[in-house]
Homo-oligomer: A and B are copies of this chain.
Amino acid sequence: MPRTLPKHATAEDMKYVQDTLYVISGKWKMMIILAICAGNNRFKEIQRAIPDITPRMLSKELKELEQNKLVVRKVYDESPVLIEYGTTPYCKSFGAIIHEMIRWGKEHRKIIKR
């Protein structure tokens, strides 16, 4: 893993970075993913797991996550119909970034505090 800034990052590279940022931007997206990973798979479960989120935001963010294939929405055609959200294997590829962010954020707080 390189520890220097890319000196020759192209405009193309920047687009990729912006894409990645776009996909995870949004106040609740990360929390939603983690809530699902923690076993909250139904709409109301996720809502309860994330105290202050409104159903409107949850609905909206879930749709975006689904479009970006980080989350799948499964409909079980029982009665009453059961809906479950799950993370995709692809979503797990996100792990590296999340861990890097935790590490960097931790470090950052130390740096800023002095």
- Distance to closest chain B CB from A109 (angstroms): 7
A92 neighbours in B (Cβ, 8 Å):
3-5
Q: Is A100 an interface residue (CB 8 A)?
A: yes
Total chain A interface residues with beta-carbon distance under 8 A: 51
Taking A30-B18, A101-B20 as contacts, is the C-beta distance between A91 and B5 under 8 angstroms?
yes
Mark A77-114 against chain B: 1 for CB-CB distance below 8 A, else 0: 00000000001001111111111111111111101100
Shortest Cβ-Cβ A-B pairs, 7 listed: A16-B105, A19-B105, A20-B101, A20-B105, A17-B101, A16-B102, A97-B100
Which residues of A are in contact with B by a Cβ distance under 8 Å? 1-7, 9, 13-21, 23-25, 30-31, 33-34, 37-38, 68-69, 87, 90-109, 111-112
